[in-house]
Amino acid sequence: MTVAIIVGFLLIAADQRPMGKGLILGTIFSVINFVLMGETIPMRMGRTRGKAFFVSLGSIFFRYFLIAIPLFMAIRMEQLNLFAVIAGIFSVQLMIFPDHIFNFVSERKNKA
| pTM, entire model | 0.84
Q: Is the pLDDT of residue 112 over 80?
A: no
At 6-53, the pLDDT tens digits run 999 999 999 999 999 999 999 999 999 999 998 888 887 888 888 889
At 87-111, the pLDDT tens digits run 999 998 888 888 889 998 988 888 7
Give buried/exposed letters for 4-19 (b at 16+ CB in 10 A, else e): bbebbeebbeeebebb
pLDDT at position 74: 97
CB neighbour list of residue 10: distance below 8 Å, 6 or more residues apart: 20
Phi and psi angles of residue 90, each rounded to the nearest 5 degrees, phi first: -90, 0
Structural domain boundaries in the chain: 2-111
